[in-house]
Structure 1
Amino acid sequence: MELRVLRYFQAVVTELNISRAAERLHVSQPTISRQLKDLEEELGVALFTRNGRNIQLTSNGEYFANQANQILALADKTVDNLHREQEVTGSFVIGCAESRSFLTLAQAVQKLQTRFPKIKVNLISTNADEIRTHLKSGNFDFGVVMEPADKGEFNFMHLPGESRWGLLMPRNAPLAQNDHVQLSDLQGQKIIVSRQRGVLDLLKEWYGESTPQFDVVATYNLLYNASLLVTAGVGYALCVDGIINTNQSDLIFVPLTPRRTTGTSLVWYKGQRLSPAADAFLKQLTTDLKPSNSTE
């Protein structure tokens, strides 16, 4: 299976039309059609259903399209990092949980690009479980994860600052009149929680019960989308502060009491060799932070 064929496949997936894909790639239509047929025979599955000039992905095709995109992205990143001059160039990828602690990394990126203006950083917002998967596959160089997080397979560096747990709710909600929310106030409420592994266990630990008396009605991996559920009246979102700007909005963040906080860590896979660009970023961040923050 050649990268060239995967790029043909990727173009057809984007256009859902072989003629337009051929024009985009500046190759003949029969060439793409033949390569797609050979690809399906090699894989032993149908990737498309064809209806005249229009085509649609099969379920196998949708899965393969996602894998092909990851393969091509990794290949492009690898070539980008290899084709560097004596000056450090190239790119690196950070998978990010939503956290205001990311400002520390943003400041390190600014200093790095001042020194090496040809370095590019790619940010992908996701949760800790997805970050763990993509770090192992090599699609991400680094991840920013909120605690609690399993870091057994990773090198990590604690980032400064903490975020406070609380509830995001409409300003007209009964609990919105309180300065703080107690865990007992969650009883009987509809709660929207992060899908990150360990969050529900953490909440049960706070409660001191294996079955807290609240109703989890939805989960999220990006808090912005969860905030829209809150606005729509689906429930209250359990989250950390500093992510959603509630100024001049219909929402308000009310912190939990007793005070509950969480930290943030930068993680990278122990078995992965960092590219020059990624290594330069890590050195810059290490310089910015205290050496005792790093555990390898």
Structure 2
Amino acid sequence: MVTTELRVLRYFLMVVQEKNISKAAARLHVSQPTVSRQLQELEAELGTVLFERGNRTIQLTAAGDYFANQAKQILSLTDKTMANIHQEQDISGAVFVGSAEARSMLTVAQAIGHLNQAHPHVQINLVSTDASEIHQQLSSGVFDFGVVMEPTDKTDYDFLRLPGESRWGLLVQSRSPLAQQATVSLEDVAHTKLILPQQGGSQRIHDLFGLEWADLDVTATYNLLYNASLLVSAGVGNALGLDGIINTNQSDLAFVPLEPRTSSGSSLVWLKGQRLSVAAQALLEQIRAELTPTEN
């Protein structure tokens, strides 16, 4: 309950800073309706109006200005207290994270690095896999967290949107005529031998690109792009995938981005209502810290 109330205060202060609920939600990596609902519930609980809502920006009422000053003091004291507690607390344990191949894993990696400095006895176990396996292992309790590519159904999950997006394109042999192009088109994709991602199957291919799986020349599928890259090197076909995963420098491969541009983001997910271990909770709070903008 205390954690939830403190989160509402952070939402409130971010809206005060941005003077716009949508901008605040984007910086907090949560949905705009979530922030709006939390503010409405906060005003109802306090029995007063905190904001004067205009067409483009919102301003604090007198009561809101007073509450903002109090909220800053509360969070400052809370953060200082929690920092002191964590310095004295020896957190240990194993945390399991199932992850898709995504550039946004960098945020999670940075959080793991900072967590390791503060609590070296926490062991993080990363498992590279696809969304289907992540959902299954989260449900069975094997994974504490998952990093999944969007779009994905998050009905049964709490989640944090991770920053950054990866662009879709074709991984081809460097001697291929396609490698000489700056971009590839959907027509290029439709007229080449393809190695396609298993995640989401034909529905995802249709939703992302408007292409019908049955109309494509699919020679193989994959759940990890590294394995698909070996198939590309062997001349099996060209892999449709995300950039930034395979390092093509000094290799026989090239990544050619798709035009029109198509990109996918990712989210950190965990089961709703799940009681996280102390170690898992520590990782979650560290990831939140990585996503929270700092004041100069």
SS at match of 2:265: strand
One of 273, 276, 285 as aligned partner of 1:274: 276
- What CA distance in whole angstroms lies between the structure 1 residues aligned with 2:89 and 2:113? 21
Q: How many residue pairs align between the two structures? A: 206
CA offsets per residue over residues 176-225 of structure 1, 9 Å max, x none? 1100000011223111111112x532332355454563211111111111
In the alignment, the residues of structure 1 paired with residue 241 and residue 210 of structure 2 have an alpha-carbon distance, to the nearest angstrom, of 19
Please give the alpha-carbon distance, in whole angstroms, between the structure 2 residues aligned to 1:116 and 1:159. 23
Are 1:149 and 2:152 an aligned pair?
A: yes
| Structure 2 partner of 1:195 | 198
Using a 3 Å threshold, how does the CA distance of structure 1 residues 126 and 211 change in structure 2: closer, same or farther? closer
In structure 2, the CA distance between the partners of 1:196 and 1:209, relative to structure 1 (3 Å rule), is: closer
CA distance in 1, matches of 2:278, 2:211: 48
- Look up the match of 1:161: 164
Q: Secondary structure at the match of 1:181?
A: coil
Which residue matches 2:233? Answer: 231
How many Å separate the matches in 2 of 1:209 and 1:248? Answer: 32
Q: Comparing 126-135 with 96-105, which one deviates more in the overlay?
A: 96-105
Structure 2 unaligned regions, length at least 5: 1-87
1:246–1:209 CA distance, 2 compared to 1 (3 A)? closer
- Contact 1:165–1:241 (CA under 8 A) maintained in structure 2: yes
Stretch deviating more after TM superposition (240-249 or 114-123): 114-123
Q: In the alignment, is the contact (CA less than 8 A) between 1:97 and 1:125 conserved in 2? A: yes
Change (3 A) 1:240 1:129: same
Q: Secondary structure at the match of 1:274?
A: coil
Match of 2:259 in 1: 257
Residues 209 and 140 from structure 1, CA distance in 2 versus in 1: closer, same or farther, beyond 3 angstroms? closer
1:225 aligned partner, one-letter code: N
* Structure 2 match to 1:122: 125
Greater than 6 Å deviation, 4+ residue runs: none
* 2:94 counterpart (91, 97, 101): 91
Tell whether 2:185 aligns with 1:182.
yes
The 5 Å alignment of 1:51-130 reads 87-130=90-133
SS in 2 for 1:93: strand
What secondary structure is seen at the aligned counterpart in 2 of 1:259?
Answer: coil
Can you list the C-alpha shifts for 1:257-287, whole angstroms capped at 9, x where unaligned?
Answer: 0110000110111142100000011011112
- Sequence identity (%): 55
Amino acid at match of 2:197: S
- 2: CA distance, partners of 1:97 / 1:268: 14
TM-score, normalised via structure 2 length? 0.66
Structure 1 residue 117 displacement after superposition:
1.2
1:252 corresponds to which letter in structure 2?
Answer: A
User: RMSD of the alignment, in Å?
Assistant: 1.7
Instruction: Give the distance between the partners of 2:218 and 2:163, measured in 1 at CA.
Output: 31
C-alpha distance in 2, partners of 1:208/1:243? 24
TM-score, normalised by the number of residues in structure 1: 0.66
Unaligned runs of 5+ residues in structure 1 are: 1-84, 292-296
Distance change >3 Å, CA 210–CA 98, structure 1 → 2 = closer
CA distance in 1, matches of 2:275, 2:218: 40
